[in-house]
Chain A
Amino acid sequence: MAKAEMKYDTQPENEEHSSLKGTLASVFILGAILVVTWVGVYFLYLDRF
């Protein structure tokens, strides 16, 4: 399996196999969840105190 990966690495047209765009999207979604949660409670705080 490791060999197969190395083969892909040498073939630029196979970009679909080495791309980490899903990881990028995932960390953005994760970041958004953190921000939304925080801002949500922040407004609750402003509302109450």
Chain B
Amino acid sequence: MLKASLSSKVDPRDAKLSMAHFYVAFTALLVGGLAGLLQVLVRSGKFQLPFGIGYYQVLTVHGVLLGLVLTTFFILGFHLAAVSKTSGTLTNKQRTVGWIGFWIALVGTVMAAVMVLLNQASVLFTFYAPLKAHALFYLGLTLVVVGSWFNSAVIIMKYAEWRRANPGQPSPLLTFMALINTLMWCVATIGVASTVLIQLLPWSLGIVDTVNVGISRTLFWYFGHPLVYFWLLPAYMAWYVVVPKVIGTKVFSDSLARMSFILFLLFSIPVGFHHQLLEPGIDPAWKFLQVILTFLVVIPSLMTAFSLFATFESFGRSKGATGLFGWLKKLPWGDARFTVPFIGMVAFIPGGAGGMVNASHQMNQVVHNTIWVTGHFHLTVATAVVLTYFGVTFWLVPHLTGRTLTKKMNKLALTQGILWAVGMTFMSGAMHAAGLLGAPRRSSFSEYGGAAQAAEWIPYQIAQAVGGSILFIAVLLMVYIFINLAFFAPKGEQEFPVGEATNQAEKAPMVFENWKLWLGITVLLILFAYTIPFIDLIQNAPPGAKGGRFW
């Protein structure tokens, strides 16, 4: 039974549910990409937004659609497909729960989007108080989160069913990874749901007058950091399990992959203070503690890097590569399913290096709220993560729609990846440099009254516009490829590549599936890192902020 489900395709009924998520994701990419183009043009100083549209409104569209909608919908669709493929077709009940979740999340997305487009919610994707959005914006976000919980329930139910049917067996690797990401998401979203439901929504409705800004930001970042790992782990699923199969080799180590995912579960949540290093109201000792926990994430990250290098090298050597780096030449560069995610992996190296700078308390002062930060996460989420999602799209969408990736589309896909890399090198490189010179993020073009320092930034802003325009072409190409794969590519069989472990006989230790243990440690770490500072924030709170509409 296990064999049959492994070799088979994702059931068409499950495929439909996954695809529904991808339609939303790629619509978000198109509209959000357009907003991105407008931003770089505005910031070059050569272009002004028409019809009195505000810069913050555009930036909110961009951040919400790309940072929240594209990512979340793609991930939920990918999790479903990965679990259906490796643990078997969903039951009718599970699929119904999945559809209910999808519709709730979609209604929420539309509600929030309408409020943003009406300029009733230009509060950026972090919706920081005291910026006050229309209540429907907060309600919409809540529905997105609630919808995602239904989807999480599907993943958890399927996992539990598989374990019951296969006692004493470690779960399939992709299912295990999707489950970890789902559990992390469930624990993390408690924070954002709390601030929205307990603080922001009542305040926006006028039920309460003021809001405790420190608490709301703390709850946001309790969610916000695991959010970035929620984006990243599906990319790691592809790097650990899919890419080896695409190039024709095995997963370097099944146990190492599971171990690194567990470490991400433990260390992704109790670290939100690294986004609040320069905020008052939190004792530096607790910031220091969370910075230490942050740096522990370096361990699973380096484990991943090692494992990927080793996968590529052992593959190249099995093909007869010699010398120190001869194996690089043996990799299948003509295959977009490999090359586009590979570009993402490369981007993650400077992305990770920049992250260590951001997280170092004192050095955060050099880069805080500068456009360096924007440059940083366009390498991590907007390159490493999304190029991997695109690399997955190239085979997953045709697999789900019963079509194939043609040679021509593969070529276009490679062009897309290369354009993205070139555009991002310019845009992100310029953002990093301008940020080190003090250029602020989240601000429209300004000469700051002719200040000499601001004049230094302008050449970099031009470079950003050049890079951003190239990126926008890459976005259009990607949307074109998606539409082709979803509706027009020739009918056929496209493989869902799932790598097998090098050593099949070596079973992954069952302790990895002990959720009482791992969730227990997760909760303990969270309580340890957050309880006292949280009490502090409540007991020593300044007067609440009235807030309002500042746009």
CA distance A8 to B322 in the complex (A): 14
Q: Could you jot down 18 A-B contacts, CB within 8 Å?
A: A1-B248, A5-B318, A16-B317, A16-B322, A18-B317, A19-B317, A20-B314, A22-B313, A22-B316, A23-B306, A26-B309, A27-B306, A27-B309, A34-B352, A37-B350, A37-B354, A41-B366, A45-B362
**A22 & B352 in contact (Cβ 8 Å cutoff):** no
Contact partner, A18, options B248, B302, B309, B314, Cβ 8 Å = B314
| A13→B149 CA distance, assembly (Å) | 55
Q: Are A27 and B305 in contact (CB under 8 A)?
A: yes
In the assembled complex, which residues on chain A have CB atoms less than 8 Å from the CB atom of B349? 30, 33
Interface residue? B30 (CB, 8 A): no
Task: Report A's interface with B, CB cutoff 8 A.
Answer: 1-2, 4-5, 8, 16-23, 25-27, 30, 33-34, 37-38, 41-42, 44-45, 48-49
Contact status of A22 and B325, CB under 8 A, knowing A16-B317, A27-B302, A42-B363? yes
The 3 closest A-B pairs by CB, nearest first: A37-B353, A23-B309, A26-B309
Question: Once the chains are docked, how many angstroms separate the CA of A49 from the CA of B258?
Answer: 42
- Separation in Å of the B242 CB from the closest CB of chain A? 18
Contact B367 A41 (CB under 8 A): yes
**Contacting pair B357 A41 (CB below 8 A):** yes
* B436 within 8 A of partner (CB): yes
When distances are taken between beta carbons in the complex, the residues of chain A under 8 Å from B365 are 45, 49
**Nearest neighbor of B500 in chain A, beta-carbon distance:** A2
Using Cβ atoms and an 8 Å threshold, which residues of chain B touch A27? 302, 305-306, 309
A45 near B353 with CB under 8 A, answer: no
Interface residue ranges of B361-392 to A (CB < 8 Å): 362-363, 365-367
The main secondary structure of chain B at its interface with chain A is helix
| Contact of A38 with B325 at beta-carbon distance under 8 Å, contacts A20-B314, A27-B305, A27-B309 already known | no
Query: Which residue from B249, B317, B356 sits with its C-beta under 8 Å from A34?
Result: B356
Interface centre among A2, A23, A33 (most CB of B within 10 A): A23
User: Do B250 and A23 touch (CB < 8 A)?
Assistant: no
A23: B residues at CB distance < 8 A: 306, 309-310, 313
The answer to whether A22 and B327 touch across the interface, beta carbons within 8 angstroms, is yes
Known contacts A22-B327, A42-B363: does B356 contact A30 (CB below 8 Å)? no
State A41–B309 Cα separation when bound (angstroms): 27
The answer to the question of B324 belonging to the interface, with a C-beta cut-off of 8 Å to chain A, is yes
CB-based A-B contact count at 8 angstroms: 75
Q: Which of B285-325 contact A (CB under 8 A)?
A: 302, 305-306, 309-310, 313-314, 316-318, 320, 322, 324-325
A48–B362 CA distance with the chains assembled, in angstroms? 11
Please, how many angstroms separate the alpha-carbon atoms of A30 and B310 in the complex?
A: 14
> CB-nearest residue of chain B relative to A25?
B324
Closest Cβ neighbor of B317 among chain A residues = A17
Which residues of the other chain, A, contact B352 by a CB distance below 8 angstroms?
A: 34
Give complex CA distance A23, B324 in Å: 9
Interface flag for B444 (CB, 8 Å): no
Q: CA–CA, A23 to B360, complex, Å?
A: 28
Complex contact B305–A2 (CB within 8 A): no
In the complex, which of the residues A21, A34, A42, A44 contacts B324, with contact meaning CB atoms closer than 8 Å? A21
CA gap between A33 and B363 in the complex, in Å: 17
Give, as a whole number of angstroms, the nearest-CB distance from A46 to chain B.
9
Q: How far is the CA of A42 from the CA of B302 in the complex (A)?
A: 22
B366 touches A48 (CB 8 A): yes
Residues of B within 8 A of A45 (CB): 362-363, 365-366
11 extra A-B contacts, CB within 8 A, seeds A37-B353, A49-B365: A17-B320, A20-B313, A22-B325, A23-B306, A26-B305, A26-B313, A27-B302, A37-B350, A38-B353, A42-B363, A49-B366
Partner of B356, one of A21, A25, A37, A44: A37
Partner of A17, one of B318, B353, B360: B318
Contacts of A20 in B (CB 8 A): 310, 313-314
How distant is A48 from chain B, measured CB to nearest CB, in Å? 7
Q: Shortest CB–CB separation between residue A16 and chain B, in angstroms?
A: 6
Q: How far is the CB of B384 from chain A (nearest CB, A)?
A: 14
Q: Which listed residue, A1, A33, A37, A44, touches B366 by the CB 8 Å rule?
A: A44
Give the contacting residue for B362; candidates A4, A16, A19, A49; CB below 8 A. A49
B318 touches A33 (CB 8 A): no
By a CB distance below 8 angstroms, the chain B residues around A34 are: 352-353, 356
Name the A residues within 8 Å of B302 (CB-CB).
27, 30
Q: Contacts A22-B327, A30-B349 given: A4-B318 contact, CB under 8 Å?
A: yes
Within 8 A of A (CB), among B234-264: 248-250
Q: How far is the CB of A24 from chain B (nearest CB, A)?
A: 9
Q: What separation, in Å, do the CA atoms of A23 and B310 have in the docked complex? A: 6
Q: Which residue of A lies closest to B250 (CB)?
A: A2
Cβ A22 vs Cβ B362 within 8 A: no
